[in-house]
Amino acid sequence: MDFFVQQLVNGVTLGSVYALIALGYSMVYGILKLLNFAHGEVYMMGAFIGYFVLTALGGASSPVLPVAPLLVLMFLAGMLGAGLLGVVIERFAYRPLRNAPRIAPLISAIGVSFFLQASALLLFSAQFRTYDTPQLIPFSTGIEAGPLRISLVRMLVIGSAIVLMVALTLLVSRTRLGKAMRAVSYDREAAAMMGIDVDRVIVATFFIGSVLAGAAGVMVGLVFERVFHFMGFIAGLKGFTAAVIGGIGNIPGAMLGGLLIGLAEAFSASYISSTFQNLIVFGILIVIMLVRPSGLLGSPALTKV
């Protein structure tokens, strides 16, 4: 039982990171019907910004600030930086392709992704950077009940992911901007006719989605420590997968999809075999897709006749 709970926590930690990345994919898709393949690189940049803030403030072993404000600063900088990057990408790589075939932005997204990866290699070098979290928050702090251990860092990551997801849900369901986003997602032309500034809504969507990716980057830095130029590639694929599994364009779906993949990875690695972990996860996901062809929470595609 303890082992099960332990794996649950491991899975939820990983899953909440995937979920945050998936949210960015899903939001953008909901509005533009566009797969933003450069999203993983935004997450990578967020992780790097968090790392540089940490280093500038003395590093993990001798920080000049107490831990709490330090973490807040890292998150804020990572999120803001990633958000701005997302907006710039939208403006220069996607807006010119607004009315192009649906597959064209995919290639420009891949171009952006190559460019950002190479830029990171050029600017930050290829070395693995590490947040060195145990120096900052020892893994021994946290809940320890018999064999069950939940470190503070994990609780922090899961907690902030929940806060961000609740905030996003409130934003989408309660604010004017959220209403506008839903309207644009439902029918862009009609929304424009109703006086909604579609461009502004799209920019806001990219900003929010990228902010979440930036937060995910800092979280990964904290809990999985390593930061490097290629980290966005795999994470981007996972986020994309999570978004589609949940029903792409559907916000609770993206959260669910992320958690599901995180849990599937943790449980298959610990209960079955780490060698075939990815195989098992992909197998599960294929079955889900065949049973629910529009994702877990997605509505069946409407065909306009």
Partner 1 sequence: MPRIGTDEWVEQQELRTEYYTGLTAPARRAFDRVGPGPRFFAFLAICAAFPFLTDSPFLIRVGVNVLLFALLALGLNIVVGWAGLLDLGYIAFYGFGAYMYAWVSSSQFDVHLPTELAIPLVVTASALLGLLLGLPSWRLVGDYLAITTLFFAQIFVELALNLDRINLPWRDQPLDLTGGPNGIPGLDPMRILTIDFLQTRDYFFLLLVVFALVVVGLYYVNESRTGRGWRASREDPLAAELMTTPVNRLKLLAFAMGAAIAGLTGSIFAAVQTGVFPQNFEVTLLIMIYAALILGGAGSISGAVLGAVIVASVPEILRTPENARLLFYAALVAVLVATVRPWQRLAAVAAATVVFGVAVHELVSLAWPAGDEGASAGGSLGWLLDSWILVPAEHQDTIGNVGFVLMVAGLLALTVLGGDRRLVVLVPTIYLAAFVWENRLIAQPSVTRQLLFGALLVAMMTRRPHGLLGTPRVENPI
Partner 2 sequence: MKKSRFWLLLALVAALAVVAASCGGDDDDEGEPAAEDTTAGDTGGAEAVDCTASIGIMGPFTGDVAAIGQEQLNWAKFAVDQFNEGRGTSFELVEGDTQLDPAQAATVAPQFVSNSDIVAVVGPAGSQEVEAVGSIYGNAGIAFISPSATATNLTEDFETFFRVVPTDADQGPTDATYMADELGAQNVLIIDDQTSYSTGLADSTTAALEEAGVTVSRESVSQDQTDFSALASGVADDTDVVFLPWQVAANAQLFGNQLAEQGKDAVIFGSDGLFSPDDFKIAGSYVSSFAPDITGLDDPAIQELVAAFEDEYGDFGTFGPPTYAATTVVMEAATAVCEGGEEPSRETILEQMGQTDLPESILGQPIRFTENGDIEDATFFIFQVAEDGSYELVQ
Question: Can you give the binding site for partner 2, defined by CB under 8 A?
Answer: 3, 6-7, 10-11, 13-14, 17, 48-49, 52, 55-56, 80-81, 84-85, 87-88, 117-118, 121, 123-128, 130, 134, 139, 147, 149, 151, 220, 224-226, 228-231, 233-235, 265-267, 269-271, 273-275, 277-278
Are 30 and 247 within 8 A, CB to CB?
no
33 binds, among partner 2, partner 1, none (CB under 5 to 8 A by kind): partner 1
Q: Select 68 or 103, whichever has its Cβ closest to partner 1.
A: 103
**Cα R_g (the chain), whole angstroms:** 19
Are 219 and 17 within 8 A, CB to CB?
yes
193 binds, among partner 1, partner 2, none (CB under 5 to 8 A by kind): none
159 binds, among partner 1, partner 2, none (CB under 5 to 8 A by kind): none
Q: Select 97 or 152, whichever has its Cβ closest to partner 2.
A: 152
71 binds, among partner 2, partner 1, none (CB under 5 to 8 A by kind): none
Min separation Cβ 219 and partner 2, Å: 11
Min separation Cβ 231 and partner 1, Å: 15
Residues 6+ apart with CB under 8 A from 242: 18, 19, 21, 22, 25, 254, 257, 258, 260, 261
Backbone φ and ψ of 143, nearest 5°? -80, 135
115 binds, among partner 1, partner 2, none (CB under 5 to 8 A by kind): partner 1
92 binds, among partner 2, partner 1, none (CB under 5 to 8 A by kind): partner 1
Min separation Cβ 56 and partner 1, Å: 15
- Report the C-alpha gap between 82 and 38 in whole angstroms: 12
State the CB neighbour count (10 A cutoff) for residue 109. 22
145 binds, among partner 2, partner 1, none (CB under 5 to 8 A by kind): none
Q: Can you give the binding site for partner 1, defined by CB under 8 A?
A: 29, 33, 35, 88, 91-93, 96-108, 110-119, 121-123, 188-189, 237, 240-241, 244-245, 248, 275-276, 278-279, 282-283, 285-286, 289-290, 293-295, 301, 303-305
- Report the C-alpha gap between 114 and 186 in whole angstroms: 32
Q: Select 159 or 293, whichever has its Cβ closest to partner 2.
A: 159
Min separation Cβ 9 and partner 2, Å: 9
Min separation Cβ 19 and partner 1, Å: 16
Min separation Cβ 269 and partner 2, Å: 4
